[in-house]
Amino acid sequence: MAETLTIRRPDDWHLHFRDGDMMRDVVPFTARQFARAIVMPNLTPPVTDSASAAAYRERILSAVPDGIDFMPLMTCYLTDDTDPDDLARGAAEGIFTAAKLYPANATTNSAFGVSDMARLDPVFARMESEDIVLCIHGEVTESHIDIFDREAEFIERHLRRIVRDFSKLRVVFEHITTSEAVDFVLECGPNVAATITPQHLHINRNAMLVGGIRPHAYCLPVAKREQHRLALRKAATSGSPKFFLGTDSAPHPRHAKESACGCAGIFNAPFALESYLAVFEEEDALEHFEGFASLNGPAFYKLPINKATVTLKREPHKVPDMLTAAGEDIVPFHAGETLDWKLVD
């Protein structure tokens, strides 16, 4: 049994930092593990133009602890009124690494998202010609569609068409949760990939609902049946370059989750790498861990692989029941559980 594991320094290809005090308190958790992160733009108000993205990037950089090398990669929040010229200029200037499509009202802070997918075609066309990556929260929002079916429906109603009509556009199907999403990504060409979160590899919907309602296991897309979790584990650990690490760490104060209408999002940043590694070990796929965590993402985004390395060692440790961020209690993923691997600082 391996006792230590050294890999190229990984990156997080889907992350929520928020802003202000919360951002300052959560950035160090990510920066100690990851060299870069795709920072999601769903602030209030959202990051919809290159000037606000550049300013947000500076605020994040000022929260990175001294001596740590960390680069936030910024995304543009697409709306019905996105200006393709500003997006293209922001990408050319190195401010935007990608643009993020939220169907309006699909998830946390998505009210300003896209209400009519077809209206965005000129933006998709421009992104395709400029080779800008499109990150998608892939769920339909129609009220009559069951929440457990919303990802699979999105594939049929929107994703197939987008991928067909813009066949060179690079698309990341974010935080996939179903076997349908795995199959779709595998059917597509190399310009379509997916991120997978630690929670969707560890839990199915029972974790949310058995023995009481557990708001800290609630995120969007919501965890599905066991068969889907198994399909995700197979995909993540298969060695396919189409799947890579994206934590979707989404901090919310404890009171906002433990509520009559609790918000969606799991805060997994503190032990994200250790959480993923547990899955790869359980699946007997340690040889594919570095690809998933550190190689596949840069290859897809056409960015260099990180030069530095990180080492993890077998050292069981308990995840705290609670942490503090922005003066608030916040419950991390795996709270109270023991993880077998620890990142060596």
**Contacting positions for ligand NCD (CB under 6 A):** 16, 42, 107-109, 137, 219-220, 248, 250, 264-265
**Closest CB to ligand NCD among residues 215, 298:** 215
Q: Which of 137, 202, 216, 334 binds Zn ion (CB under 5 A)?
A: 137
Nearest distance in Å: CB 325, Zn ion:
17
From the list 50-58, 134-142, 228-236, 309-317, the region that binds Zn ion by CB under 5 A is 134-142
Cα–Cα distances (Å) from 323 to 207, 272, 306, 326, 333, in that order, read 21, 15, 29, 10, 11
Which of ligand NCD, Zn ion, none does 108 bind, CB closer than 5 to 8 A by kind? Answer: ligand NCD
Nearest distance in Å: CB 193, ligand NCD:
17
Residues 104-123, interacting with Zn ion (CB under 5 A): 107
Interface with Zn ion, residue 248, by CB under 5 A = yes
DSSP reduced 3-state for 73: strand
Nearest alpha carbon to residue 275 among 248, 255, 295: 248
By the 8 A CB rule, do 96 and 50 touch?
A: yes
Nearest distance in Å: CB 315, Zn ion:
30
**Closest CB to ligand NCD among residues 75, 108:** 108
With a CB cutoff of 8 Å and minimum separation 6, the contacts of 111 are: 104, 105
**Closest CB to Zn ion among residues 251, 285:** 251
248 is a catalytic site residue: yes
H or E element, residue 230: helix 226-236
Closest-by-Cβ residue to ligand NCD is 265
Which of Zn ion, ligand NCD, none does 334 bind, CB closer than 5 to 8 A by kind? Answer: none
By the 8 A CB rule, do 148 and 303 touch?
A: no
Instruction: Indicate which residue of 248, 321, 329, 345 is catalytic.
Output: 248
Nearest alpha carbon to residue 251 among 1, 5, 40: 40
Cα–Cα distances (Å) from 269 to 160, 182, 234, 310, in that order, read 32, 24, 23, 16
Nearest alpha carbon to residue 192 among 181, 201, 177, 200: 181
Measure CA of the first residue to CA of the last residue in the chain; give whole Å: 22
Which of Zn ion, ligand NCD, none does 306 bind, CB closer than 5 to 8 A by kind? Answer: none
Site residues (vs Zn ion, CB under 5 A): 107, 137, 248
Active site residues: 248
